[in-house]
Amino acid sequence: MTHTNLYILGIESSCDDTAAAVIHNGKILSNVVASQEIHAQYGGVVPELASRAHQQNIVPVVHQALHGANIDKNQLSAIAFTRGPGLMGSLLVGTSFSKSLALALDIPLIDVDHMQAHILAHFIDEEGKTPPAFPFLAMTISGGHTQIVKVTDYFEMEVIGQTIDDAVGEAFDKSAKILGLPYPGGPLIDKYAQEGNPKRFKFPKPKVNPMDFSFSGLKTAVLYFVEKETKENPNFIEENIADICASLQKTIVDYLMDKLKNAVKKTGIKEIAIGGGVSANSGIRKALKDAESKYGWKTHIPKFEYCTDNAAMIAIVGELKYRQGLFTSSEVTASARLKY
């Protein structure tokens, strides 16, 4: 069965971004994200506040996505939503909203795994971009996850390496917090790093299995380093912020690249894609581009707005599942620890 004229609404509410997008035959017509500013003052996401903000945002965000796509809700073919993993209270808002809307419009409901969506975002139809060819390796690097996944088909994925403690985004955010930067600190470390000397300071790279990751030691190392240096010079951070950020970013990027190299060696697969919020990082983007000529890899880096949490990636999974007839019962419940 071929479906030529699909309009799918994607809804994402797993963490602190309320997002909605409309996809039409692989092309994104609208992609709306309401980020929740409220968490910055607490230095991290407060789950209770997140779910309340989702409740306030979801109707206007969906409305804006439909308006931006220039379609009426009655034209929708299906609703795709993030079922998990994520914060339970946040997931529940998107899940119950999607279930009700699908029921009201009498159209299919499609559940989406957030981490699969970060990977499948590469299949959004974009001018001048070729999607990854199967099999490929996907490194998903976000605030909640750090994994290397072997992808043999759209929905055939195997996790071959992962973090044993913190996610890489947490390593960025927690280090940034120690440096007195507001949440989320990842983009700020990236910004300061552009002006700094990456070779000035040395941070440790934790030793674990070749394709696994560990980041909790790095955060402790940053803490001790900052404590020691500020004892000698109370202005140490302000005077050296660019060099600290550049050195820290280099350590993390080199570590991620080491893990990818190990995975390529183990699997023989040189088709590489990245996804998740940390793939917005300029250091990892450059390292991957360089790997094309250096190691003969074919690399896929998502467009900026498809890196951090968004609903376009949920919508593309919705379309891929629709075309395979993979629908969800209206009995479906949110799952904070969903695993594929």
Chain contacts with Zn ion (rule: CB under 5 A): 142, 309
Which C-beta is closer to ligand KG4: that of 191 or that of 228? 191
**Per-residue b/e over 156-186, b at no fewer than 16 CB within 10 Å?**
ebebbbbbebbbbbbbbbbbbbbbebebbbb
How far is 263 from 210, CA to CA, in rounded Å? 8
173 binds ligand KG4 (CB under 6 A): yes
CB of 147 to Zn ion, least distance (A): 12
Among the residue ranges 27-35, 56-64, 121-129, 138-146, the one whose residues contact ligand KG4 (CB under 6 A): 138-146
Distance CA 71, CA 263 (A): 44
Q: Which of residues 298-327 bind ligand KG4 (CB under 6 A)?
A: 308-309
Dihedral-angle region of residue 127 (phi above 0 means left; psi in -120 to 50 means alpha; beta otherwise):
beta
Nearer of residues 30 and 142 to Zn ion, judged by Cβ:
142
184 binds ligand KG4 (CB under 6 A): yes
Question: Pick from ligand KG4, Zn ion, none: which does 95 bind, CB < 5 to 8 A by kind?
Answer: none
Ramachandran bin of 245, using left for φ above 0, alpha for ψ from -120 to 50, beta for the remaining angles: alpha
Q: Please, which residue, 178 or 280, has the CB nearer to Zn ion?
A: 280
Nearest to 171 by CA among 249, 237, 242, 282: 249
CB 187 to ligand KG4: min, Å: 4
**Residue 278, contacted partner among Zn ion, ligand KG4, none, CB below 5-8 A by kind:** ligand KG4
CA separation, residue 237 to residues 112, 227, 242, 277, 299 (Å): 42, 10, 9, 26, 35
Neighbours of 66 (CB within 10 A): 21
Closest distance of CB 283 from ligand KG4, Å: 8
> Within 272-301, which residues bind ligand KG4 (CB under 6 A)?
276-278, 280-281
**CA distance between the termini of the chain:** 26
- The smaller minimum CB distance to ligand KG4, of residues 7 and 172, is found at 172
Site residues for ligand KG4 per CB under 6 A: 15, 142-144, 169, 172-173, 184, 186-187, 190, 276-278, 280-281, 308-309
